[in-house]
Structure 1
Amino acid sequence: MKLRADQTGERGLPMPLWLQGALESAQAAVISALVVAAPIFVVWATAGFQNGATEVLARLAGQSWLLIHGVPLLLDTVGMGATAQPQSGVLSLTPLGLTLIPFLLAWRAGRRLARASYTDQLWQALLGSSLVYAGFGLATGFICRTADVGVGLWSAALIPLIPFGMGMVVGARREAGSWSRLIGVDAVAWLSRTSQHSRWAGSYLGSAVKAGFVALMASLAMCCVLLAVTLFIHWNLVIAVYEGLEAGPFGGAALTIAQLGFLPNLAVFALAWTSGAGVALGIGSQAGALGTAVGPLPSIPVFAALPAGALDFAAAALVVPVLAGTLAGWWFLREGENHFDEWLSIKIHARWFTATASTLVLGAMVGSIAGLLGAGLAWLAGGSAGIGRLTDIGPDPLRLAVFLAVEVAVGVVIGSAAGPWLERQQTLRESELEPASR
């Protein structure tokens, strides 16, 4: 990273990094707030709210801004004026698709700040931006809390820093080119001082983590395809729910935007369904490839695409994580970093044993990493929708981790075993095509 003096004050002096970070974060906060407020304004313009007072809409926009950052909202029907069976609950179901808005804005800001900083000065820009963004969240929580929607001020100040800070760090790393350069460490010099076994272990663990990430992303990609197919097959039921709501064109558009915001959540739900771990759609409702027992659901169009009834071949969906693990095992073989197998072969001169042991260890490691990553996604995608039965939505992180780890591990063993044969087949095809290309 290099210091560039293009960010200057009135006298041509370089702008202090903490001030530049503060301006970048303020810009990101305002833009994300405007994006969230736009659909609310559209619904208000079409008389979609019973109470269209300006302060009410402004508080609703602020509460929505906090929600997309993961800040839980405390709901109380007593404050809403409910006359029967007052209840309270927590709205913590975060639309991860809308969380990408502040994340991407922070990613852009992180790149700009890294471009304007030396490595040992980047902390100044990150500190200034974090303080301003936390202040924006604190002010939003203080202004937008009401009798029926409570907001914890500490949560409003600190939780928005998680997606914003992640975006800043990823953007700065993108500009720096590596994590070591981002924190000012010469990775080459540090590695040269370590032993050969340490370098082997580091390369092996790093490749295993990457393989686990490959398995998770492949599983999610295939689950997204299955989700799209399910929506296409049940499109008539989805349209029927839209028609029954009679929300009008602008209300329907706002509802569609809200559902698109939860699209990443639905992808994680599809992963849980496919793995057999299942996904909760309210207290007492569980849907999964190994069994489905779902109670009454709210009139949300996307819920109409949920597979229902007797599903004779639903268990076949369990093959999706296995296929993803097979791809990860093949990828690890092509990466060429199976140093544990090399070390074990040096210690034990029995290839049948070392090959079997190293493959099983690799499957266990990659499966565990994919399971841990899946558990993190399940924790992010799930939550509570407020009050009533819908206080438990999403997959259980521990259950998903176990199911996903086992299935991916099986796939990794298959991919590692079939990898050499696949490589030989690819080499033969390339050798057959080589004379024709000449």
Structure 2
Amino acid sequence: MNRTTVAMLAALEALLAVAIGIGISLVPLTILWAVESGFSVDWVLFWRGAVDIWLLGNGVDIEVTLPSAVVASTGLAAAADPFPVTIAPLALTAFAVVMGARAGIRASATRYWQTAVAVALVTVVVLNVLAALSSTDDTLRPSLLQAAVLPGLVYAFGLAIGVLRGRHRIPAGHGGTIGRLLTRLQDRLDERFDRFDRAVAGAALRGGGAAVTGILGLSAVLLTLLLFLNFGLVTSLYQGAQLGVVGGAATTLAQIAFVPNLVVWTASWLVGPGFALGAGSSISPVNTVVGPIPGLPILGAVPSGDFAFGFLGLLVPVLVGFFAASLVRPRLVAALSGRPLVGRLLVAAAGIGVVAGISLGLLAWFSAGAIGPGRLGVVGPNPWLVGLFATIEVGIAAMIGMASGSRPAETPTVSTLRTADRVR
């Protein structure tokens, strides 16, 4: 394919990513518009809502100014002032990253992958800015500056994953200027760090990734169990909201978009700091203080319990850190091939804790935000505390896991072999 064809395909794929991302919310909202309102309400309102949901998923803040009638019905004085909505539905964020990764993999298979990446990024930025302009009104005002930057960064992250996966090492003769720079950077790293240092760094990355995956996986299992155990409360919240069939389906779809957020919040609960559902609230293994919160049915699965149950939850990151270190230790010991182990094993274990702490802290940051006025401006976990607790818990457990393995068998020395030959 020539450069023009590659550019057009990249632009088309970026267009589909934005269109599908908006359509995920627009389709159920359109059904709600047709069934509940009987086409009597302006459809543009639902278009703006779908665009705002998509922009939130890409990290764009929305400034909300409620009409006076709505403010009077809520009875909240803080609702009269404009307030930001900043919480991102991480399911849409993940969708944008996955679509970018798919585009990056396809672009990496072509000769003009740099052109494809550039055109895809420009297309995503332009489309999101146009969508933000079309959704701005007196009630909802997305940040145009963020709309011009953040969706492009999210899509670029996916593109980078796809390109690096498709081209593990870009040859200097085919990668152009960027390919030569990446090759030069890799050569510099190879010169600066020997294979033993790289083995320790690789073990830290693999172990930290395994620890984060294990904590998130167990958090998802715990959230599922809590949904089943609190099914009656969730059902009563649905009934109390009186949403109807279509409204209930739309609410369910909206809650599904926030399921990854709830998984991260559950992971923060297991790590220890927990999370907040409004300023002054605290939901953690050792303390649960909740004020008035929105009656979203899925919030009926919020983890809580006595100290014994919370203590069992705190064991999860410790056990996961131990098993993650045990998983990567044999390969690391083999790579060190007789070198001094203690120092390097401790460094690898500390690296596992740091990788896990940074990853969970970033996820906690991405999952938190503001969902309303007043005290609802603080929702989600504290990323600094989550990162610190995870680093300490996983790091200490990883050190125990690194120290608990058996030492490799020593190879016979040359003198021993020669003595054996003489005996024969």
TM norm structure 2: 0.85
Aligned twin of 1:158? 149
Aligned twin of 1:55? 44
Aligned twin of 1:114? 108
Aligned twin of 2:179? 184
- Superposed, 1:143-222 pairs within 5 Å as 143-176=134-167, 178=168, 180=170, 184=179, 194=190, 198-222=194-218
Cα distance change on mapping 1:64 and 1:245 into 2, 3 Å: same
Asked whether the 8 Å contact 1:220–1:267 carries over to 2, the reply is: yes
Asked whether the 8 Å contact 1:109–1:171 carries over to 2, the reply is: yes
Q: Specify the code of the residue in structure 2 equivalent to 1:377.
A: L
**What is the alpha-carbon distance in structure 2 between the residues aligned to residue 400 and residue 50 of structure 1?**
47
Q: Specify the code of the residue in structure 2 equivalent to 1:100.
A: A
**What is the alpha-carbon distance in structure 2 between the residues aligned to residue 265 and residue 99 of structure 1?**
11
1:130-151, Cα deviation, whole Å (9 max, x unpaired): 1111111111111211111112
Structure 1, unaligned runs of 5 or more: 6-12, 346-353, 425-438
Aligned twin of 1:350? none
Secondary structure of the 2:292 match is coil
Mapped pair 1:254 → 2:250:
yes
Mapped pair 1:64 → 2:50:
no
Q: Specify the code of the residue in structure 2 equivalent to 1:143.
A: S
1:295-331, Cα deviation, whole Å (9 max, x unpaired): 1221111111224464433112111001110111112
Aligned twin of 1:393? 379
Asked whether the 8 Å contact 1:379–1:397 carries over to 2, the reply is: yes
Asked whether the 8 Å contact 1:70–1:92 carries over to 2, the reply is: yes
**What is the alpha-carbon distance in structure 1 between the residues aligned to residue 183 and residue 117 of structure 2?**
23
Aligned length: 398
**What is the alpha-carbon distance in structure 2 between the residues aligned to residue 394 and residue 49 of structure 1?**
37
Asked whether the 8 Å contact 1:136–1:157 carries over to 2, the reply is: no
Aligned twin of 1:383? 369
Per-residue deviation, 1:235: 1.1
Q: Specify the code of the residue in structure 1 equivalent to 2:380.
A: G
Structure 2, unaligned runs of 5 or more: 410-424
Secondary structure of the 1:159 match is helix
- Superposed, 1:84-103 pairs within 5 Å as 85=77, 86-103=80-97
Asked whether the 8 Å contact 2:36–2:246 carries over to 1, the reply is: no
**What is the alpha-carbon distance in structure 2 between the residues aligned to residue 215 and residue 275 of structure 1?**
12
Aligned twin of 2:261? 265
**What is the alpha-carbon distance in structure 1 between the residues aligned to residue 291 and residue 119 of structure 2?**
49
Cα distance change on mapping 1:195 and 1:69 into 2, 3 Å: closer
Q: Select which of 211, 223, 229 maps to 1:227.
A: 223
Cα distance change on mapping 1:130 and 1:187 into 2, 3 Å: closer
TM norm structure 1: 0.83
1:36-80, Cα deviation, whole Å (9 max, x unpaired): 211111211221699720222222222222122221101122587
Shifted more, 185-194 versus 81-90: the winner is 185-194
**What is the alpha-carbon distance in structure 2 between the residues aligned to residue 180 and residue 205 of structure 1?**
22
**What is the alpha-carbon distance in structure 2 between the residues aligned to residue 14 and residue 320 of structure 1?**
51
Per-residue deviation, 1:193: 9.5
Cα distance change on mapping 1:24 and 1:382 into 2, 3 Å: same
Q: Specify the code of the residue in structure 2 equivalent to 1:260.
A: I
1:88-145, Cα deviation, whole Å (9 max, x unpaired): 2111111111223332322222222222x22xx3221111111111111111111211
Aligned twin of 1:298? 294
1:271-316, Cα deviation, whole Å (9 max, x unpaired): 1101111111111111011211111221111111224464433112
Secondary structure of the 2:84 match is strand
Q: Specify the code of the residue in structure 2 equivalent to 1:234.
A: N
Cα root mean square deviation, aligned: 2.9
Aligned twin of 2:420? none
Shifted more, 154-163 versus 186-195: the winner is 186-195
